[in-house]
Amino acid sequence: MKIAIAQLNYHIGNFEGNVKKIIDKIHLARKEEVDIVCFGELAVCGYPPRDFLEFKDFIQLCERAIEQIRIASIDIAVVVGSPTVNPVPEGKDLYNSAYFIADQEIIHVQHKTLLPTYDIFDEYRYFEPATEHKTVVYKNKRIALTICEDIWNIGNENPLYVTCPLDILIDQNPDFVINISASPFSYDQAEERLDVIRANALRYNIPMFYINHIGAQTEIIFDGGSVVMSASGKIYEEMPYFKEHYRVFDLEKVLIEDQSIEQPKDKILEIHDALVLGLHDYFDKLGFKKCIVGLSGGIDSAITTVLAAKSLGANNVRVFLMPSQYSSDHSIDDSLLLCKNLGVQYDIVPIEPLFKEYLATLKPIFGDFQYDVTEENLQARIRGMLLMAASNKFGNIVLNTSNKSEAAVGYGTLYGDMCGGLSVIGDVYKTEVYELARYINRNKIVIPENIITKPPSAELRPNQKDSDSLPEYDILDDVLRLYIEERKGPEEIIKLGYDPTLVKRILRLVNINEFKRYQTAPALRVSSKAFGMGRRMPIVGKYLS
């Protein structure tokens, strides 16, 4: 038996585009005499469709897509994901389902049992869990058909669930497992995913064909890495990450060969490739082409500009240098050198005249109040206004350049440097930004060395440094990671050896600045706990405030 995995980039709600991709691969698989070609979870509509699922018209379009795929399935079997209607009045209206279609007939529909409702997942909002589990018999092979989370409760040890679908299906003596997934990227997810697939193969002594999405849906990025795992727990094949791929496998070889092919994993490489893909798909799927970046001479805007040039092409990137009287000469020179290295268009728009006009206009109101953060924010907002004006005039999207460390503690100005349509590095801590810069410069100097080595500064007052207002970034990021990703409270963090006063100050800053993050652009998700849809905090909560 020949089984093909089609690892594709779907577009939510783009039924015509999704179905064309699927049918094109069905035709290719048929030419190669494939028996079963497999696609991802909710492939016909894209994942996650969210509240689109509440529209009957959307579900009808899903049904129409399945019908097109059924008609195309001549002399071949197709496994593909789609929402299906629950005919029973009790429970949710829909199932998250996997179709097994062969020779223009729907042979079997298996519904998803384990519905993740944590972090970015919200499936129990829409779907009813399966109560029946049946294998599929096709060409004398018995197949256990599962969907994503259904394999993440190994031996019923996951406290989130009380059912283990494969514990039920294995009693029917399947020859192999097909799992269609939409498993989002985070920099540690690929290894964890492989561990889960391996644990299933070893527990049931059965090979598994695991099919994942690639591509980005706003902030959520899918990395691919579809896998064929042998019954011995060895990786028979690990498909590429961050790109579409199609591969045919001989089941008999998978059953008898004991090869092990695993790609090396590198955190910063994966973050880099994820951000490039996420940025590309945000523009491509929304029909945008060009972006604008405010280039300050600092490392955050430099990294954002480099990623934009790689993702969109240098000819689609335009940067604004907006020096004030507090900007150092090297910030301008460094920015110009970066523009030259990348070949991007730039404009120099000094803001000092505008800043003075604002100060003069506000003088009767402010009177003799001392210069403070008000005037600093004013400069940031002037820059934001200029960027948004260019965005409106030219139809280009402003990219936000704030990193996760700054976003966490509110070290940014609403309607100023926090403006933009997409936050490119909003889930990348400052220390990781420096690692990205070194990775980008690994073969040649792209980002001028001075941008990497100079002390970070907002340059909103004379001789300003980030360390004037914030702890050193290596300490700050450690505490933030413990609080945000690992969900440790203040006492737990303090017990790890961190200064109690510093910990409470940092955590208080995170909590009181929730209102800022609530108003900012979506950030490309590369960690296990990003700001945005996966982290839901009250704005007016008292905890640690």
- The catalytic residues are 41, 112, 148
Q: Closest by alpha carbon to 44, among 115, 99, 107, 103?
A: 99
Phi then psi for residue 47, to 5 deg, are -130, 135
Q: Report the relative pairing of strands 422-423 and 397-400 from DSSP bridges.
A: parallel
| Three-state DSSP string of 51-93 | HHHHCHHHHHHHHHHHHHHHHHCCCCEEEEEEEEECCCCCCCC
Pairwise CA distance, residues 196 & 420, whole Å? 38
Give residues with Cβ within 8 angstroms of 473, minimum separation 6. Answer: 405, 429, 430, 431, 456, 466
| Residue found by looking up tokens 């480099």 in the block | 306
**Is residue 226 within 8 Å of residue 210, measured between CB atoms?**
yes
Helix, strand, coil percent content, the chain, rounded in steps of 5? 40, 20, 40
Neighbours of 442 (CB within 10 A): 10
Q: Which two tokens stand for residue 123?
A: 């499936």
**Is residue 182 within 8 Å of residue 152, measured between CB atoms?**
no
**Is residue 305 within 8 Å of residue 331, measured between CB atoms?**
no
Pairwise CA distance, residues 153 & 267, whole Å? 26
- Listed as own residue / partner, the contacts of 11-15 with beta carbons closer than 8 Å and 24 or more positions apart are 11/46, 11/215, 11/285, 12/45, 12/46, 12/47, 12/48, 12/49, 12/52, 12/217, 13/45, 13/46, 13/49, 13/52, 13/58, 14/46, 14/285, 15/44, 15/45, 15/61, 15/62, 15/64, 15/65
| Residue found by looking up tokens 């018995």 in the block | 142
List residues bridging with 209 in a β-sheet.
178, 228
Q: What is the CA radius of gyration of the chain?
A: 26
**Preceding amide of 48 cis, omega within 30:** yes
